[in-house]
Structure 1
């Protein structure tokens, strides 16, 4: 049975989301300020941006004003925030007011529903008020709109940093403001109601922006957008399996991982693809598609979600000059600098698209030419490449993982092998033998030139001969790409222990016992935590390497995230269950890597380039896992890691059997 929206409900009382909580319709994304029951913050609906917009709601009961967002402590005597629930497509917040005034009790239960609009730039706020006092009252809503500096931002300018406000909007009438060619409008369905004892009243407000006013009553707009959320979720999850497990936290983690992908999908028909896969985007930042995380971390889950649109997403990124850019804006404009991992990321996505949908010979040839062009962008160092400094690599703040490094040189070899396979499967006429020979030479050079047997780790080599050993999680990607002998792998795996790479709540990008490079200021890549895709990708690597015990040691340390994040942030700490505060991107498409690791690692699903499938489930410590309803090339696959059984369209198949 497919997932419903309600199954992704998240209790906001447990949220550790940095920068508080946002919600998206796939057209508009909007902020729910902390501590507020009815307040609304900034919002984005490309090309429209309203980063400093605010909506505050004040209640009036029989002439007594009640403010929202009461301050903590005894001084906070307004409407008191009492929790809420986040769903894909809406946020519900609860509040309470229970005080006596002039001998009369005012007791209200307040519930607001914030719905970002689909097909319109803006949002609807519905406020439901229940009168708990034993007398009739009259309730009036006083909305206070501060539109800030809304502006139209060309689609080619939506990059890493959220758009800044434009000139302040000017009031042009009752509930209307103008900023350049952008009109902001507040509409409602009445602001005053008589409320009998025990009765309930519902108010609805809409704030919209555009070149002119829009039609539609607020409640109708909210219902339409909620319906679109149901449709979008059903479409994206139609081929994604349902997970059930008695392992504490695993089901919540799986759902949180899926949501991390869902909130990165945008449907605006003005974008280069629809859906468009943003790297982040909820707070208006990184509303662009990186080759790096679009393709690199969860290619199979993303392809399952996108369906036939996955090919267009792959082609859209291939159109940009990756020798100059790392990402595309929503209209396909290239952004940023050349990035060392872009070629690998595209080949990774292409292998998934080939397995699920097939690739044409011409697209495989185009991919080969693109990868070769990007490869030529970096300076040769024998069979290896010099990838320069942090500008093109991991952005560590210390000197270390730079220039001639094991990763991404190992990924180069992996790409060449995959291109050879893609050529053979698709009928493209690539020089497969030469590609495989070059891949072999690269792997041999990595082992010969970069492996330090005494240190049991790779060295990074600078042009002047200086070398460094950086115990970085990226080295395990070199293992995954086939650059390690069993002896090398054994030495590296010995570092997967507490006090080195492992910590109670995840992995550290730099091992804690690397005293030269480990630091706590850059959780992303330098220590004290890691980029959100790295932990599950390490677990997947370990399952692929035949190390299920170590794989589970990594994966189980990540399960807390499903309980504390409605969607996964860009990076998180590994020594405590939290993420860095504001200043980082608050969501990341690489959060899908968790589901990818469970599906293709723990459940042993191997999607093959020729369209066949091999499933080799293995039992997990401490409980069972069942995946039902995996859709692949018109078939439906169900998997149990407890019994090791696999069924295809209801018929049992042997584990490890090639399913054609």
Structure 2
């Protein structure tokens, strides 16, 4: 049973600071209202159907007078006036008012619209409630107008980063309704139901059908996720919005390669595909809690797409794009989380090993010793717009070492028979060479090295990935962390992907990787890294800068600024699965919940000053774990019974589920 209801994720649209339109989904489709209107609807997507340029407008006739709903601003009679609304995962409810007095006659109606994407059918449902606020009878008529595209049928293999474009042939888009006129008695309300669909699909779908699908989804994917309670201002809203960011990325179209299918974005029709990098690399524990044993289906589908040539999978499992340097590490990280939560078999461990080896072969050894890899230019990495963090870089070289070590652990608990000792030795050599070859002690930063020997100091947030991957001895780690200060990486509202003090690389046009803000998973992952290193005060200082996001986004966008509470206005994805990293940082960092691949669970809480944080109802291998972090105490209970901490402050909440096997067993 879910610890949260749909109302727990309700968001007041008056507080919205969206990057563009706000969308709502059903698990099989998404739709957006027309901004500023009470009833207007814009484009919609229900793979394989795309109606990017669709429009539904509604004009009212009230007591013979036309009342437009077109979002016009300014003084005077501007028709139906938008007065706010509420987003929930299953619907958007908008409110509007029309109140005029002319020629001795009052015309006053309240309008409430409920917009929901259909579940299981291509299209959407718009319910419009009109209430008569006068003391006389009012005749009311709706005049809907449907315009724009036909429903293009786009093969599932073609749903990549950008939304399908408008235009082209396809199914006709039709409008059905339950009547458009009524004589409203004083105080009476009438609900008009309009359905927009591709072709001649069923006509009886209602917003309630989508709500029931969402209620079932919450009962399924949140049943193992803990509920947060806290007296820390802003933290609870941030945690819930982070969970919402993960929820809206789950699709349950039976034609997709997995059910659910984890999209990188998808609300605006773009990135319905799943990138290996952010699927596994940002919130592997929260995602595994959501998916349970189905997480291995996601890993299997991505490996099957051939990571040596692709960074993502389309909804049907087709590989997309070029090879990403981070793909194997991300999936191994997800596999490592899966091993702890639900177990992992030797066959999947071997496939992860093969994927790592294949990607290692794709990015060739460099230097006289051949220990480090040249990871190519920006299209194989994270696509900064300047030269800099390219070719031989600290990350993902350090993450490769981390991958090899994780594979050794997974082999030992699964009996996969990988050469664990050799993998660990290789990991040690890589970490040593990352520092020996790339560390610039004078700058206190890692250099990037190009094939011709040219080097660059690019002060990218990616350097902290090498810290998390264990490649930094104490002096190197201290120097890196010393750059986390205001005016460099820290802004009032988050972190900058490039230090503002780096005049060669810092810019404001590419917020996610070139400065002025960051990809939405980066700041909470940095906080998690600091908690993992035992620096809770600095970790909290990073995470608290993000709490504004919980107040102003229904779900987190692809990227956001760090110097003001906003996101780039256009051209980026409206949502992103990496938004789930906020909840990951709270659970795995602040509360210190760390599953191990042998099926054990270790908890090492790191409380914050001046507040209490409670996480209750985390289900781990059929055990219910609660964690309370308060300034004066930490308490871990399992099935309601307190568990004592060890000498190092860690709590073995759940003992190993499997016996660790000897290497090669």
| TM-score grouping bracket, smaller chain normalisation | over 0.9
Name segments (4+ residues, structure 1) moved above 3 Å.
none
1:279 aligns with 2:279: no
- In the alignment, what sits opposite 2:497? 509
Mapping of 1:60-71 within 5 angstroms? Answer: 60-71=61-72
Mapping of 1:587-598 within 5 angstroms? Answer: 587-598=575-586
| Structure 2 unmatched ranges of 5 or more | 656-665
1:644 aligns with 2:634: yes
- In the alignment, what sits opposite 1:244? 229
Distance between the aligned counterparts of 2:462 and 2:401, measured in 1? Answer: 16
1:657 aligns with 2:647: no
1:162 aligns with 2:151: no
State the shift of 1:194 in Å.
Answer: 1.1
Distance between the aligned counterparts of 1:422 and 1:416, measured in 2? Answer: 10
- In the alignment, what sits opposite 2:190? 201
* Corresponding pairs, count: 644
State the shift of 1:215 in Å.
Answer: 2.9
1:269 aligns with 2:277: no
Distance between the aligned counterparts of 2:387 and 2:158, measured in 1? Answer: 32
- In the alignment, what sits opposite 1:400? 388
Distance between the aligned counterparts of 1:24 and 1:75, measured in 2? Answer: 36
1:215 aligns with 2:202: yes
State the shift of 1:222 in Å.
Answer: 2.0
Distance between the aligned counterparts of 2:207 and 2:379, measured in 1? Answer: 44
Q: Normalised by the size of structure 1, how large is the TM-score?
A: 0.96
Q: Give CA deviations for 1:152-193 in whole Å, capped at 9, x if unaligned.
A: 1111110111111233xxxxxxxxxxx54x242211111111
State the shift of 1:428 in Å.
Answer: 0.6
- In the alignment, what sits opposite 1:80? 81
- In the alignment, what sits opposite 2:51? 50
Mapping of 1:519-530 within 5 angstroms? Answer: 519-530=507-518
1:386 aligns with 2:371: no
Greater shift, 259-268 or 224-233, is seen at 224-233
State the shift of 1:112 in Å.
Answer: 0.3
Q: Give CA deviations for 1:80-125 in whole Å, capped at 9, x if unaligned.
A: 0000000001000010111123321111111100011101111110
Mapping of 1:567-582 within 5 angstroms? Answer: 567-582=555-570
- In the alignment, what sits opposite 2:661? none
Distance between the aligned counterparts of 1:223 and 1:459, measured in 2? Answer: 56
Distance between the aligned counterparts of 2:384 and 2:434, measured in 1? Answer: 22
Distance between the aligned counterparts of 2:522 and 2:626, measured in 1? Answer: 27
Distance between the aligned counterparts of 2:600 and 2:77, measured in 1? Answer: 62
Distance between the aligned counterparts of 2:610 and 2:325, measured in 1? Answer: 40
State the shift of 1:75 in Å.
Answer: 5.1
State the shift of 1:234 in Å.
Answer: 1.7
- In the alignment, what sits opposite 1:185? 174
2:400 to 396, 406, 412: 412
Distance between the aligned counterparts of 2:320 and 2:296, measured in 1? Answer: 21
State the shift of 1:26 in Å.
Answer: 0.5
Please tell me whether the aligned partners of residues 150 and 165 of structure 1 are also in contact (alpha carbons under 8 angstroms).
Answer: no
State the shift of 1:329 in Å.
Answer: 0.3
Distance between the aligned counterparts of 1:313 and 1:426, measured in 2? Answer: 19
Mapping of 1:326-475 within 5 angstroms? Answer: 326-381=311-366, 382-475=370-463
Please tell me whether the aligned partners of residues 21 and 33 of structure 1 are also in contact (alpha carbons under 8 angstroms).
Answer: no
Please tell me whether the aligned partners of residues 402 and 461 of structure 1 are also in contact (alpha carbons under 8 angstroms).
Answer: yes
State the shift of 1:307 in Å.
Answer: 1.4
Greater shift, 97-106 or 628-637, is seen at 97-106
Please tell me whether the aligned partners of residues 616 and 644 of structure 1 are also in contact (alpha carbons under 8 angstroms).
Answer: no
Q: Normalised by the size of structure 2, how large is the TM-score?
A: 0.96
Distance between the aligned counterparts of 1:309 and 1:551, measured in 2? Answer: 32
1:497 to 482, 485, 495: 485
1:21 aligns with 2:22: yes
Distance between the aligned counterparts of 1:380 and 1:545, measured in 2? Answer: 30
State the shift of 1:366 in Å.
Answer: 1.1
Mapping of 1:616-627 within 5 angstroms? Answer: 616-627=604-615
- In the alignment, what sits opposite 1:233? 218
State the shift of 1:76 in Å.
Answer: 5.8
Distance between the aligned counterparts of 1:67 and 1:622, measured in 2? Answer: 52
Q: Give CA deviations for 1:479-514 in whole Å, capped at 9, x if unaligned.
A: 000000001111111111101110100000001111
Distance between the aligned counterparts of 1:115 and 1:76, measured in 2? Answer: 29
Please tell me whether the aligned partners of residues 115 and 123 of structure 1 are also in contact (alpha carbons under 8 angstroms).
Answer: yes
1:33 aligns with 2:26: no
- In the alignment, what sits opposite 2:305? 320
Root-mean-square deviation over aligned CA pairs: 1.1
DSSP-derived class of the 1:637 partner? strand
Mapping of 1:604-623 within 5 angstroms? Answer: 604-623=592-611
